[in-house]
Structure 1
Amino acid sequence: MSKTTDSNEVIADFDPHFKIFHDLMPFKVQEILLISSLYDAYIMEEDGSIATRLINEYHGLNLSKPPKITRVSSAVEAFHLLTGKKFDMVITMPFLGGMDAFALGSAIKKIQPDIPVILVSHNMRSTFPDKVDRRGVDKIFLWCCEADLLLAIIKNVEDHQNVAMDTKRAMVRVIIYVEDSPLYRSLILPLIYSEVVRQTQSVLDESLNERHRLLRMRARPRILMAQNYEEAQHLYQTYKPYVFTVISDATFRKSGRSNALAGFDFLRSIRGEIPDVPLLMVSTEHKNRAEAERIPAVFIDKNSPVLRDELHKFFLNNLGFGDFIFRLPDGTAIGHASNLREFENQLKVIPEVSLRYHSNRNHFSNWVMARAEVILALNLHHDSLPTTDTLENMRADLVDKVHSLRKLRQQGVVVKFSADDYDPDIMDFVKIGNGSMGGKARGIAFMWACLQGAYRDHAVLQTHTVTIPKTCVITADGFNTFVEENKLHFSKSMPDDQVADLFLDAALPAWLRQELRAFLRKTPHPLTVRSSSLLEDGQFKPYAGLYSTYFLANNHASFDERLGQLESAIKLVYASTWFESPIAFSKVTGRGREDAMAVIIQQSVGDQFGTYFYPAVSGVAQSHNFYPVMDLNADEGIAHIAIGIGKTVVEGGKSLWFSPAKPKKLIQFSTVDNMLKYSQREFYALNVELDACLQRDNSNLVLRTVQQAEKELPVKMLASTYIADEDRVRDACLPGVKIMTFAHLLKYSSYPLGKILTELLKTAKSGMGGDVEIEFALRLHPDLEKSVFYFLQVRQMVIGSEMADVQICDHERQNAFCHVSTSLGHGSFSNIADIIYVCPEVFDGAKTMDMAKEIGAMNRRLLHDKRPFLLIGPGRWGSADPWLGIPVQWGDISGVAAIIEVQSHKIRADPSQGTHFFQNITSLGIPYLTLHEKGRQEGENHTDFLDWHWLKRQNLVEKGQYVHHVRLIKPFTLKCDGTKAESVLFQMEKPCTMVCTVEGKEVWHQSSSVPGECVWIR
């Protein structure tokens, strides 16, 4: 038996709703041995190559890979090949070199006992010699120059091999076809297969994407063929629970003899056991019609000139492959449905008499069964419907079952947007266009698929709602068409505002505007329009936060105004591809070309409080904690959360950080003073009254104080109160200063935020093959257990600790001008001679914007001279809050080789991890050192320090009002030991040869060819 592995199976592990379809049809005919004389082959190929026609037939029906055919012209050649190679089936002609086909088949089965042997003849007169043992041949067909016969033979072999396992795994349906005539078998079997495949394809839900439609095709009914009464009864008894329909001749062998009533007996026995199964009799005797109808069974004359049409009609009307026609008991049509969405809508409104009429006759079940929705079909069977006191209760039950299945099928799936089929109630992720979704959208789609498996494996995800916002992605071909049609190519840089104006004046492609119009008509919620470039959030060098994001209230009274705002937001996201920061980052990463841009349109997460819309919690979580202080562990990860829209966290505003594994341990809130100093005071919200304005600078967001929102649900439930008279913080909604402690989530675990983050980080890390960062938001419910957790995006983190061996010795620590015990990065760097630092004596927290401008000017000059530099300054680099650090953009520091973030008493801010700026720095492998400046204590080599006096003695190149640029005579050495998070910066004036201690052992070391760097002689 041959088994195949295709690309669909690679993703089965994170596609659980469709995983069962991956497991179906494990046996595929891949190798066929054709045994025929040259003349037989000539006749068969008279109308074209068999292989070519077979390939065309497979492709025409959109089936899987067609098999390979190997032809030989003698029994000897066949035996030789069969001895050394595995074939899946043999097709032979009647006579080859004196050996009849039956003897040949018997000989073949001695070599490969389980191989199916099919006899194909050009005429039936000489095929059946008397008193010949026919057990060597499994089936006999008459060749009629049709490739669809060969396909039907192949598929029938596969069906017989797969049916036992497929019915057990997925309860696939079975069609039993009884026919003893090779002539009519050869005529009708291809018609049945063609009808089954085409009808199954036609009724698959249009909301499925192409990959899932192909997978669902594996659940088509299996066609089992019998040649006599005993075979037919055996198939029926074996697969009785799965019988979809039975198609039978009237006359065939029963008890070893031809019996004109065998077909009637067989169909009557089935009707007696399964009253509602569709039955079809096909016979050459027209007189059999009346008897067939008494069974009752549909009757078709085999000799009918419209045989194909009548068979087609049977599939549509009796097997449920056509539209469902809702009727009254007298037959009057009152409605129709062509898919499950229309079916659900009709169930809601049809009269009770129609509901009872169809339910009692199992019409609902049969129609759904034709769509390969076996479980739903069984649940809609009248024997499975609950006994209710009213038909309205039954109606509600039917609607609920259909709706639940439709929603389940869409979870974890990216669906091609269709204006006619789009149903936002069940579709969570759709895409417009045919190009790439970009890095960010790809990450969301990947995690959305992975989550479906995680729901099964983790109890906390089963009992709490974890999902994604409703998402629509405009693929990159929309961007490419927009740029080409409007000729938006720039040979030189220009200010961001000028670029934005050019893009706003351009027109989106007509096809995209049409799709957006249809999408927006069914989308009444606030929207977030975000970038998803091809390079963004990619592996190793993600472009985190470099592109624009816009928030829309989407509530203007005029639909055209709403559409115009959405189009403007999309254009501005497109425009950000040419903004200064992304271009500067591209140059550093070595990707100097223009980035292509997809766009994500998401339903904003949150609730409206008065005129403001925002989520109760937004945050970032990382699977690796770069600064595991106290008893926290690096591999337990870290999370940063804040009230309001996530701009606060990702741009470095005040937030609360904790380990998801230990959410009760809040180190930054260890004292009341620390709570007052470090707690979040302000947050971002969407002002829904700004409905007619798309503000480019702040994306329609406003900054509010926590105190202003003290009567709103998030603050009332998640904030604590500082009681000044007691100088203490109480976890209650009392009069006083609000402190965002998130106590109900972290301290009391009323909602298991820590556990949810832990499981999501594990799932994402496992799926992406390395450490990850996720963004999320929480929509609060008064009953916290009913709150909804929204997964927003995922990106890989770049740890970099896999590089070359780096060790730091005592001598280097003692001669260092800077030592840091909390650093990120790994390696030895000896190419830096320039240092830009913020002078501590003149630092003014109110002037950090001016400092950023000075640094940007120095950076541009050093970039021009191709001189990398070390950057030193207080607080969070890249913070959007100028009081927490210096708000540089990437373009201000794009030439930096290493950064020192000084944590001093002048700026009280936690380390930068969790911000987009920090993610981009680390992804480039730039060493990032966090210096806790306490002074160097006597006899303690591991205390953080920076020798400011030494630094100020170096050659001054440029002196700004706040920032100085110095240049050393020769480069210094920076060594980062990523395994211990330790770094030293030093210059040695002369080579040394001495004994040092490394990891508790004495080793000799001497100077290397690199000035000031030591190597060890063990």
Structure 2
Amino acid sequence: MRGRPKIVLARTYEEAIQIYEKYKNNILGVITDVRFPRVERGEKDGLAGIKLCAAIRKEDPFVPLIIQSSESDNVAYAAKFDAAFIDKNSKKMDVDLRRIVSDNFGFGDFIFRNPDTLEEIARVKNLKELQNILFAVPAESFLYHISRNHVSRWLYSRAMFPVAEFLKPITWSSLQDVDAHRKIIFEAIVKYRKMKNQGVVAIFKRDRFDRYSNFARIGEGSLGGKGRGLAFIDNMVKHHPEFEEFENARVAIPKTVVLCTDVFDEFMDTNNLYQIALSDADDDLILRYFLKAKLPDRLVEDFFTFFDVVKSPIAIRSSSLLEDSHYQPFAGIYNTYMIPYLDDKYEMLRMLSDAIKGVYASVYFRDSKAYMQATSNVIDQEKMAVILQEVVGNQYGDRYYPSMSGVARSLNYYPIGDEKAEEGIVNLALGLGKYIVDGGMTLRFSPYHPNQVLQTSEMEIALKETQTRFYALDLRNAGQDFSIDDGFNLLKLHVKEAEKDGSLSYIASTYDPYDQIIRDGLYPGGRKVITFANILQHDVFPLPRILQLALKYGQQEMRRPVEIEFAATMSREKDKTGTFYLLQIRPIVDSKEMLDEDLTSISDEKVLLRSNNSLGHGVMNEINDIIYVKTDDYSASHNQEIAWEIEKLNQQFLNEGKNYILVGPGRWGSSDTWLGIPVKWPHISAARVIVEAGLTNYRVDPSQGTHFFQNLTSFGVGYFTINAFMNDGVYNQEYLNTQPAVHETKYLRHVHFEQPMVVKMDGKKKQGVVLMPEEQQN
């Protein structure tokens, strides 16, 4: 609205002068009558309009003036002030007015004219056309227009204020150089178009979508959750100039076009798909029906334009209305397909259409229906927008993948060492992000402490707990066998393959089996370990800093903790440059993460366990069992036997699908049996809270569960450290000893309560409590 030209009416000469003074820098033109009142005279002045023109011409020789009068003699004055004249007596007065306003005030097309004959040389409709023709217009015509301010006026009338403002003072008299002028205008347009395309969800127009465009939509409906997230990030990057300040890194979103939800509605209606979709047919049958259906024809040309601009593989992602509903995590319910870039655009069109229909069909697959039911959503309210996005990556032969992809969260509920919860946490991997979503082994670090990566702190952990496989897009698979599984054309490869592709230059370290050490960087021979050492520790690429900014601004502008998906490609030249792409942002809403109470206010009488140094976050209220190591006559020499007993009990819990709380002395999972019980993760995998309880005669610094840290974080297990004898926390073992045991051995007791024990953990403050079962509290 603010960009539309306004018409301001002056009723007297003084008012006209006042308005002109106020708006003179933004006036597209002035239309004046000849006879109207002047206040100081208290009467009509027969030449007020002519005097107004004279006053304006003194200030601005070029602003368009139109004089209208019923006295045709006044045409002489018009010529004097280089104004257009309209005769009020003429039958076609309004037609004349319309034509003159359109020609002179910058509306309509911009017409380059021959200054001598005024005949048309060229005509441009929009900024893109102006940009393309600038250097081809003959110098004398160009000079004629710039010396009369025509270009900036045309821009003003189109509400392109930044460029118009910038160009207005650059007049012929100030510059006197036609070619310099062309260049200045050209660069201003390029800069403006880049700026405009950021943060705006423009409507996709074939003639305007080009390499400066970032984000557009087709259709009028909703963008869906992911679509809105992308528009939000794009805007965020535009508004914070810090993202532009990296010498060797560009921050952007991939080129994106969103098919809004109305395209989905139209597709479902015109092909009569609701009946099969809402039936109990199996997924394959539903997919077959959807693949046979037809997308609207008008999309074909738009898709071809998109292919031409992107020239890379395309990801087809779902963006559903419910996916972002702030209270239910819908992420990952629907499919994401990827298709290779082909020279045969009709073949590519077929693959793209199939993928879009596959995403549409996935709304009605069995899992989605079950999920809808579980979250009490009505499936016919679900509408699907589809995001078409260039896949971030480099091509290596028949494979395509990014140097790294990852997920960053602005809250870290497992801070270790001097990390803080609010500094956030990142999971990083080589290759496509599907590897992370599928729960692969990623590298976990805090963007504020990139030098302290637990997984690479000890050689033994680094060899065991770093990535060994990665996903790449198979460019040879042209999707003939389109299937429900959206990963049908992805390759799961061994890291060795990436080494052959030459994509590990700043990402891997090399294990030297002779010296038994891991060296940062690539060396011949030796296993390659994905450590990202050169990026995290040696700052080859400013990844940690970019992530700090993205998390900071994302959280600030969403006003809640966020999760961001990203990918980055390093240049193939060894020049240490790269591009960081933000792919998705969403608020972190995990039902169990809604914890508002102050745990320190719960009295010690009510708790079985309290830790002031806990990891994990949330509330659990379905655990009725606790297994603890007896401390009377405890000796570390029995730790191996205790481990075997726990393994047996754990297996019973797994078979029954139940969970328990595990309490014991020293470090759980330590390889040194004198420091703690040497369990491995599979032996305690049904435990939901693991407690390290110090003993008077047996003090070990808390380990914070280093040995199965990866599993703690991925399964959301709580880890408590308690030293009750040093008044650090509470461990009410006396009470447990009075309860009947379901199972008791020389070393262990297993107690079952009828009522569940409620576990509450505040990951930000590192507080954790296990409350007494309800029956005991009453």
TM range (shorter): 0.7 to 0.9
Shift of 1:324: 1.2
From 543, 561, 569, give the equivalent of 2:355.
569
1:1014 is the counterpart of 2:773: no
Aligned to 2:79: 293
When residues 951 and 362 of structure 1 are mapped into structure 2, their CA distance, relative to the original with a 3 A threshold, is farther
The amino acid that maps onto 2:34 is: A
The amino acid that maps onto 1:687 is: D
1:717 is the counterpart of 2:506: yes
From 311, 315, 320, give the equivalent of 1:524.
311
1:203-222 to 2 correspondence within 5 Å?
A: 214-217=1-4, 220-221=5-6
Unaligned 5+ residue runs, structure 2? 627-642, 663-667, 670-679, 692-702, 745-749
From 758, 765, 781, give the equivalent of 2:548.
758
Shift of 1:562: 0.7
How many percent identity over aligned positions? 32
Contact in 1 for aligned 2:624/2:660 (Cα 8 Å): no
Shift of 1:623: 0.8
Cα distance in 2 for residues equivalent to 1:906 and 1:296:
83
Cα distance in 2 for residues equivalent to 1:323 and 1:623:
49
Cα distance in 2 for residues equivalent to 1:487 and 1:261:
72
Return the index of the structure with the highest Cα Rg. Answer: 1
Cα distance in 1 for residues equivalent to 2:456 and 2:731:
24
The amino acid that maps onto 1:630 is: G
Contact in 1 for aligned 2:521/2:534 (Cα 8 Å): no
1:793 is the counterpart of 2:584: yes
Other structure's SS at 1:661 match: coil
Shift of 1:633: 0.9
The amino acid that maps onto 1:368 is: L
Aligned to 1:728: 517
Contact in 2 for aligned 1:326/1:336 (Cα 8 Å): yes
When residues 552 and 529 of structure 1 are mapped into structure 2, their CA distance, relative to the original with a 3 A threshold, is same
Contact in 2 for aligned 1:482/1:508 (Cα 8 Å): yes
Other structure's SS at 2:431 match: coil
1:910 is the counterpart of 2:710: yes
Aligned to 2:596: 802
Cα distance in 2 for residues equivalent to 1:431 and 1:368:
24
Cα distance in 1 for residues equivalent to 2:732 and 2:495:
35
Cα distance in 2 for residues equivalent to 1:566 and 1:425:
20
Contact in 1 for aligned 2:625/2:753 (Cα 8 Å): no
The amino acid that maps onto 1:486 is: N
From 567, 570, 573, give the equivalent of 1:780.
570
1:629-668 to 2 correspondence within 5 Å?
A: 629-668=416-455
Aligned to 1:823: 616
Shift of 1:622: 0.6
From 695, 711, 717, give the equivalent of 1:929.
717
Aligned to 2:250: 465
Cα distance in 2 for residues equivalent to 1:295 and 1:821:
82
1:455-494 to 2 correspondence within 5 Å?
A: 455-456=240-241, 465-484=250-269, 485-488=271-274, 489=276, 493=280
Other structure's SS at 2:322 match: coil
1:13-92 to 2 correspondence within 5 Å?
A: none
Deviations 1:35-75 (A, max 9, x none): xxxxxxxxxxxxxxxxxxxxxxxxxxxxxxxxxxxxxxxxx
Cα distance in 2 for residues equivalent to 1:758 and 1:722:
30
Cα distance in 1 for residues equivalent to 2:645 and 2:64:
90
Aligned to 1:184: none
Alpha carbon RMSD of aligned pairs, Å?
4.5
Shift of 1:492: 5.8
Deviations 1:712-741 (A, max 9, x none): 564112322233333333333322332222
When residues 981 and 974 of structure 1 are mapped into structure 2, their CA distance, relative to the original with a 3 A threshold, is farther
Contact in 1 for aligned 2:689/2:720 (Cα 8 Å): no
When residues 248 and 975 of structure 1 are mapped into structure 2, their CA distance, relative to the original with a 3 A threshold, is closer
From 175, 179, 203, give the equivalent of 1:416.
203
Aligned to 1:609: 396
Other structure's SS at 1:304 match: coil
Corresponding pairs, count: 707
Cα distance in 2 for residues equivalent to 1:577 and 1:821:
40
1:432 is the counterpart of 2:248: no
1:283-682 to 2 correspondence within 5 Å?
A: 283-329=69-115, 330-381=117-168, 383-384=170-171, 391-419=178-206, 421-453=207-239, 455-456=240-241, 465-484=250-269, 485-488=271-274, 489=276, 493=280, 495-510=282-297, 516=303, 519-520=306-307, 522-555=309-342, 557-591=343-377, 593=379, 595-682=382-469
Deviations 1:563-592 (A, max 9, x none): 110111112212222334333333333336
Unaligned 5+ residue runs, structure 1? 1-213, 834-839, 845-850, 860-868, 876-883, 887-895, 919-927, 955-965, 987-1006
Cα distance in 2 for residues equivalent to 1:299 and 1:338:
27
When residues 561 and 984 of structure 1 are mapped into structure 2, their CA distance, relative to the original with a 3 A threshold, is same
Shift of 1:321: 0.7
Cα distance in 2 for residues equivalent to 1:553 and 1:296:
61
Cα distance in 1 for residues equivalent to 2:286 and 2:339:
21
Contact in 1 for aligned 2:143/2:172 (Cα 8 Å): no
Aligned to 2:539: 749
The amino acid that maps onto 1:762 is: K
Other structure's SS at 1:587 match: helix
Contact in 2 for aligned 1:386/1:394 (Cα 8 Å): no
From 737, 758, 761, give the equivalent of 1:977.
761
Deviations 1:429-459 (A, max 9, x none): 2222232222222222223333333x14778
Cα distance in 2 for residues equivalent to 1:604 and 1:290:
66
From 53, 57, 60, give the equivalent of 1:267.
53
1:247 is the counterpart of 2:38: no
Deviations 1:594-649 (A, max 9, x none): 53322111111122233322111211011111111222111111011112111122
Other structure's SS at 1:721 match: strand
The amino acid that maps onto 1:734 is: Y
Cα distance in 2 for residues equivalent to 1:649 and 1:253:
76
Cα distance in 2 for residues equivalent to 1:944 and 1:666:
35
Shift of 1:528: 0.7
Shift of 1:870: 3.8
Structure 2 length as normaliser, TM-score? Answer: 0.79
Other structure's SS at 1:376 match: helix
Other structure's SS at 1:602 match: strand
Aligned to 1:39: none
Deviations 1:263-299 (A, max 9, x none): 4344234334422221222222111213321332111
Contact in 2 for aligned 1:904/1:933 (Cα 8 Å): yes
Cα distance in 2 for residues equivalent to 1:795 and 1:374:
33
When residues 451 and 952 of structure 1 are mapped into structure 2, their CA distance, relative to the original with a 3 A threshold, is farther
The amino acid that maps onto 2:583 is: L
Contact in 2 for aligned 1:249/1:282 (Cα 8 Å): yes
Shift of 1:899: 5.3
